[in-house]
Amino acid sequence: MSGPLLASMPEAYRALVLGASGAIGAAFVQKLQADPRCALVLGLGRKTLPAIDFEQESSIAAAAAAAELAPQGQFQLIINAAGVLHRPGFMPEKQLGQLSYEQLLSSFTVNTLGPALLLRHFSPLLDRRRGVMAMLSAKVGSIEDNRLGGWYSYRASKAALNMLIKTAAIELRRSQPQTVLVALHPGTVSSALSAPFRGAEIGRPADVAVAEMLAVLDGLSPADTGQFISYSGERLPW
């Protein structure tokens, strides 16, 4: 018989999933809802109440302050699963000649600027005794690991996200010493994001990926804050 899903979390822990409408976000919500030790799972996205839309800056602060959150108390687990790799009208750039302001701004708005404001407005909602906040990043955002080139906007936006996470972790270590803040690489998951890139062939189901990531998060301590970690538990180079 397997042990608790998140043994490091206190009984009746509370979880918040941002980007809950995507494949990975929805799988996080479902997995946590199935855990009898989890007292509350709140999933937020562009169509929830309160709504969070990274292209609407005011929605981030408003959601954090919303009455729907305030009565629930602090959260032991906060996960941001929102991100963008492609949209109608653009795909990852393969060469410099494909760069455009529009695509760069779109990628940075969703992958970097929105999460930056999540750090600002949602980190205070973490339980001071045991609080884990994970931002889904991507291994292709590693500068050291970049051997293939291409995917300019996505790589750069995730690299910038990683720097924000690292910097915020240093600050939170002083003010919230029990907080764990990490950049988390989910690997290739069968989803709309990965579909144009053989995602259905080489990816794994979202529920499998989520179980792996939760196992990694469960094993983290405050000493691990500010790390870039893979779903396998491997520490990734910046």
Indicate the pLDDT class of residue 195, thresholds 50, 70 and 90.
low
What is the DSSP secondary structure assignment for residue 19, as one 8-state letter? S
Establish if 7 belongs to a structural domain.
Answer: no
Whichever domain contains 38, its CATH number is 3.40.50.720
Establish if 52 belongs to a structural domain.
Answer: yes
Establish if 64 belongs to a structural domain.
Answer: yes
Establish if 2 belongs to a structural domain.
Answer: no
Q: Has residue 191 got a pLDDT over 80? A: no
Give 153-188 pLDDT, tens digit per residue: 999 999 999 999 999 999 999 999 999 999 999 998
Into how many domains does the chain fold? 1
Q: Has residue 140 got a pLDDT over 50? A: yes
Distance between CA atoms of 216 and 93, rounded to whole angstroms?
A: 32
17: closest CA among 35, 42, 34, 39?
A: 42
Establish if 5 belongs to a structural domain.
Answer: no
Establish if 138 belongs to a structural domain.
Answer: yes
What is the DSSP secondary structure assignment for residue 12, as one 8-state letter? T
The rounded Cα 70 to chain-centroid distance in angstroms is: 22
CA max distance for the chain: 55
The residue segments making up the domain with residue 99 are 13-230
- Provide the whole-model pTM: 0.92
Establish if 238 belongs to a structural domain.
Answer: no
Q: Confirm if 81 and 55 have CB atoms less than 8 A apart.
A: no
Give 38-91 pLDDT, tens digit per residue: 999 999 999 998 899 999 999 999 999 884 566 677 999 999 999 988 777 788
